[in-house]
Amino acid sequence: MSVNERIDLTLEDGRILKLAGLDPPRPTPLDPYLDIMTRDKVADWLTGREIWFRQVEGRRDRWGRVTVEAFARAGAPGSPIMPVRRAVLEAGLARYEADSARPCGAQMLAAEASARAGRLGLWADPYYAVLKPTDRGAFTERAGTSVIVEGEVSGVDVGRYRSTLFFGPRRSRDFAVTVAQRAIKLFESAGLDLAALKGQKIRVRGLLDLRFGPQVEISNPDEVEVIKTVQGDGASDPSVERR
C-alpha cells in the first residue's frame, strides 16, 4: 500500500481509496512541503498495517477513487481499532470535510477542534488560521480554496431561491454565506433555523468565491457551527452549542 499527498491510499491490487470526510492540506507560502510531510506521517502509520474499510459511495469519482471509511489499529498488534479519519484529524493532518452521507460530524469536528487548539500539524501554519469576516486580504489570497470563517451574523435574508447570512452592512463587499433552497430542509432536520442566526456567532467552512463579494455556499449542517460563550468566574469560554 502507498499514500499520496491527498492522503489517498493505493492498495496492492491497484484500487485507490479516498478517505471520506477529509480535506488534506496543500503547500503554503511558509511550508511548501506541508502536503508531503502529511503524506509521510500517514504513510508511517499505515504502511504494513492491516486496514479495514467500507465503501460509502457507490460510484468511483472522476479520478477513479473509491470513497471509503477506513479503520486501522492505533498501535501495536492487539491495540484498539480506530477510524483513520479521526486519527488524522486529531493529529492536525487534515481538516474536516462535511458530507451528509457520513453522520459522524460532531465527533469529527471535536477531533479537529482538539488539534486546532493544540496547534498541531497544519494548524501551526498561519495559512490555515480561522479567518474573520473582515480579513479581506486573507480572502484574496485564498480565493477558490476551502476556508473556515468565524464571526457574528449581522443579518439574514430568506429568499425564494436561497437564504443568505450577512456578516457586515455592505452586502456586495462584506463576507456572506449562502444556502440554496434545495438544501434548507437538511438544516431544518438538524434543528438549525437559519433565520434565527442573526446576532449569533458562528463558524462556517466551505469553498471561497469572490465573484460577488467574499462568500461561501454551504449545503450541509456540519458546515456551520453555532458558537456559545459561557460566562463563569469572570472569564468567557467559547464552545460549540450546536450545528
What is the chain's pLDDT, residue by residue, as a tens digit (243 residues)?
Answer: 999 999 999 999 999 999 999 999 999 999 999 999 999 999 999 998 899 999 988 889 999 999 999 999 988 788 899 999 999 999 999 999 987 555 678 899 999 999 999 999 999 999 999 999 999 899 999 999 999 999 999 999 998 889 999 998 887 789 999 999 999 998 998 899 999 999 999 999 999 999 988 999 999 999 999 996 444 433 334 445 544
Query: pTM of the entire structure?
Result: 0.88
The reply to whether 189 and 235 lie within a common domain is: yes
The reply to whether 160 and 197 lie within a common domain is: yes
The CATH number of the domain holding residue 140 is 2.40.50.140
pLDDT at 230: 40
pLDDT at 241: 52
Which string of DSSP letters, residue by residue, matches 47-116? TTS-EEEEE-SSS--TTSEEEEEEEEESSSTTSPEEEHHHHHHHTTSSEE---TTS--HHHHHHHHHHHH
The reply to whether 32 and 58 lie within a common domain is: yes
pLDDT at 151: 95
The reply to whether 147 and 32 lie within a common domain is: no
The CATH number of the domain holding residue 114 is 2.40.50.90
Number of structural domains in the chain: 2
Q: Which domain holds residue 39?
A: 2-126
Which residues does 155 contact at the CB level (< 8 Å), separation at least 6? Answer: 165, 166, 198
